[in-house]
Chains A and B, each alone.
Chain A
C-alpha cells in the first residue's frame, strides 16, 4: 500500500477527486485553506473538473446545489463562521433532496472566535443547522487516513439518500500531516440520476423546488423526509469501541478528542483503571443503541469534547437517565493533552469507586 505524507485538508481533496467529485466550490477560511488550494491545482487535471473560488460561502454552497442539480458530484468546504453562511444552501439541498458533500474544519467560536481546533459546531451539524425540519448525515473522522476514507463514504451516502452529508473535522485534523493511502478509494457505484436537469430532450420537463404552498403537500414532504431520516438511523450508524468489554467507566468522544481519549485510556489501563471508549463515527445518526446497551452493565460514562458540552446532550438522550454522566470540555480552540485527560478521568474514576463502596 503506497503511502504519502499529506495534510488532512489536502487528503480530503485527493480523496474527493478519486471518488468522482468533478466540482469544487470554496471560499478561503482558515483552517481549511489547504483543501481549497489543493482543488485549485487538482481540478483542472480532472476531466470535466471545475474549481471556482466563490465570492462567498453562500455562493459556494449554491454553486454546489447547481452542480448537483446538473448531476455532478460536488463538494464545498469551510470552517465554522463560513458554515453558518452555508446553512441556507444546506437547507435547500435537504428540501430539494439533492446530494452534496460539505466539509467543516471546525475552529473556536462563537463569532470570529479563533483559528484553533474546536468541536463547538456539533449541535449545528447534527440538528440540521439551517431552517426547517431536516437532518444531514455527519461523519467524524479522527485521522488523516480516516478523513480520506470518509470522503467516498460521504459521496455514496449523499447519492444513495439524495441528501447533503457533512464531514466534521477540526483545524488539527485538517492541518496536521500523516501518512495516507488512496489505493482503495474509487467511485464504485453508479446511482440513478433520473431527477437531474439536463434540458428536457425527449422527455417531460422536470422541476426541482421546495416551495409547497399547499400545507398538506408541505406536511407530506416533511413526513417523506422524516421517513428517509428514519432509514438512515436504522442503517447508517457507525461507531468504534475501544476496551469497553471489561470497562467500569466508558469515555464517549469523537474525532480529535477520541484520539486524545485513546492516549489517556492507554495510560489509565497501565494504572489498572478499567476505562474504555465509545467513539461515534456518525454523529448523526447517533450511536444510541451501543451506549444504551453498554449502560446495562456500566454505570459511569465520561463525555469528553472540545466544547462546553454539546455531544453530552445526545449521550443524555441515549442513556435516558440510566448511569451517571461525567464531563470534561475545553472550548475556545484549546487542545487538551492525553495526560490532562488521564488526570481528570482518573480522579472521576476513583470518586465513583468511593461512591460504589
Chain B
C-alpha cells in the first residue's frame, strides 16, 4: 500500500498542547516537514520563545533552546556566531518579536545575521489569555482592548515585514498564512526558502505567518480562518515582501 500521509520523523510522538483550530500546530508540522525534506536534523538548532510556542522542544526531535521572552534573535545570534555552518532559527510570536523583543529582532535583521525567524502572527497574546498584541487589528476586541483597539490610545498594528524590509541586512521576508490548504502549501515553501537563504548566508530571513487563534478571537475555527482572509490580510498583505537574489 502506498503511504500518502504520515507523521514527519522530526515530530515526536507527543500530543500538541495547542487549542483546537490553532495555527501553531500547522506551523510546527510544516517546519518538521521542511527540516526532514532538506535533511537538516543534524545541523539545525531551534530557539523556542515564551508564549504559545514555548513547548516546541517537546514536539521537535531537534536541538532546542528555550529563550527568554523576546530574546530569540539575540540568543540565535550568539549560537550562529559560534556555529556558522549550522542552521539556526527562532520561533517567535507577535508579542515576542514585535513588542518585548523588537530591539533584538530589528538589530539582528540590521546586522544581517544569517538566521531565520519564524514569526507567528495571530494578533493576540495567546498564552496569557488574549490581551492586545502589537499586531492586533484596529477595533479588534481583546481583554485589554475591551472596546476594541483604538489607535489614539493603543497605536496601530505593527507590520514587521515592511519595517524589516528597509533594513539592508535582510535577505528574505515573506508573509504567508495557514488558514486554508493553498495558503499552507505556500507557507511551507516560504519556510524552506528562508532556510535556503540562511544556508547561502545572504542575510537575515523571516517568514511571517498569519495564524488563527479561535480561542482568543472568540470565534469558531472556520470563522477564524475566514477572518484572516476577510480582515487580517487587508492589514497584512500576503506575499514576498523582500527577496535579495
Binding site for B on A (CB under 8 A): 22-23, 25, 48, 50, 52, 54-56, 58-60, 62-72, 74, 88-89, 92, 96, 197-202, 204-211
Cβ contact of A198, chosen from B75, B86, B104, B106, cutoff 8 A = B86
Residues A50 and B82 in contact, CB atoms below 8 Å apart:
yes
Cβ-closest 8 pairs across A and B:
A66-B78, A209-B66, A70-B82, A201-B42, A62-B74, A207-B57, A199-B43, A63-B78
Residues A70 and B79 in contact, CB atoms below 8 Å apart:
yes
Chain A residues positioned under 8 Å from B60 (CB to CB): 205
Q: A66-B75, A200-B63 are in contact. Are A209 and B48 (CB under 8 A)?
A: yes
Cβ contact of B78, chosen from A56, A64, A92, A210, cutoff 8 A = A64
- Most B C-beta atoms less than 10 A away, residue of A23, A65, A197, A210: A197
Chain B residues positioned under 8 Å from A48 (CB to CB): 82
Chain B interface residue number, banded? 35 or more
Q: Mark B38-78, 1 if CB is under 8 A from A, else 0.
A: 00011111011010001101001111111110010011111
Residues A69 and B68 in contact, CB atoms below 8 Å apart:
no
Whole-angstrom distance between the alpha carbons of A201 and B111 in the complex?
29
Residues B79 and A197 in contact, CB atoms below 8 Å apart:
yes
Residues A210 and B66 in contact, CB atoms below 8 Å apart:
yes
Cβ contact of B71, chosen from A22, A25, A59, cutoff 8 A = A59
Q: Mark B191-214, 1 if CB is under 8 A from A, else 0.
A: 000000000000000000000000
Residues A52 and B64 in contact, CB atoms below 8 Å apart:
no
Residues B103 and A208 in contact, CB atoms below 8 Å apart:
no
Q: Could you jot down 30 A-B contacts, CB within 8 Å?
A: A22-B82, A50-B82, A52-B111, A55-B104, A58-B71, A59-B104, A59-B107, A60-B74, A62-B67, A63-B78, A63-B81, A66-B74, A66-B78, A66-B80, A69-B75, A69-B79, A70-B45, A72-B82, A89-B71, A197-B45, A199-B44, A199-B45, A199-B83, A200-B63, A201-B41, A205-B63, A207-B65, A208-B64, A209-B48, A211-B50
Q: Nearest chain-A residue to B82 (Cβ)?
A: A70
Cβ contact of A71, chosen from B48, B64, B82, B103, cutoff 8 A = B82
Q: A23-B82, A67-B79 are in contact. Are A88 and B68 (CB under 8 A)?
A: yes
Cβ contact of A66, chosen from B44, B76, B106, cutoff 8 A = B76
Chain B residues positioned under 8 Å from A66 (CB to CB): 47, 65, 74-82
Q: A59-B74, A62-B68, A208-B66 are in contact. Are A67 and B61 (CB under 8 A)?
A: no
Shortest beta-carbon distance, B73 to chain A, in Å?
Answer: 8
Whole-angstrom distance between the alpha carbons of A273 and B85 in the complex?
65
Residues B79 and A200 in contact, CB atoms below 8 Å apart:
no
Q: Nearest chain-A residue to B50 (Cβ)?
A: A211
Shortest beta-carbon distance, A74 to chain B, in Å?
Answer: 7
Cβ contact of A23, chosen from B45, B61, B81, cutoff 8 A = B81
Residues A205 and B62 in contact, CB atoms below 8 Å apart:
yes
Q: Nearest chain-B residue to A74 (Cβ)?
A: B78
Whole-angstrom distance between the alpha carbons of A33 and B160 in the complex?
33
Q: Nearest chain-B residue to A209 (Cβ)?
A: B66
Q: Nearest chain-A residue to B110 (Cβ)?
A: A55
Taking A54-B74, A66-B78, A197-B79 as known contacts, 15 extra A-B pairs with beta carbons closer than 8 A to each other, sorted by chain A number, are A23-B78, A23-B82, A56-B104, A59-B74, A63-B74, A63-B81, A66-B65, A70-B82, A197-B64, A198-B83, A199-B42, A200-B62, A205-B61, A207-B65, A210-B66
Whole-angstrom distance between the alpha carbons of A72 and B75 in the complex?
13
Chain A residues positioned under 8 Å from B106 (CB to CB): 55
Q: Nearest chain-B residue to A60 (Cβ)?
A: B74
Whole-angstrom distance between the alpha carbons of A206 and B78 in the complex?
18
Residues A62 and B78 in contact, CB atoms below 8 Å apart:
yes
Shortest beta-carbon distance, B56 to chain A, in Å?
Answer: 9
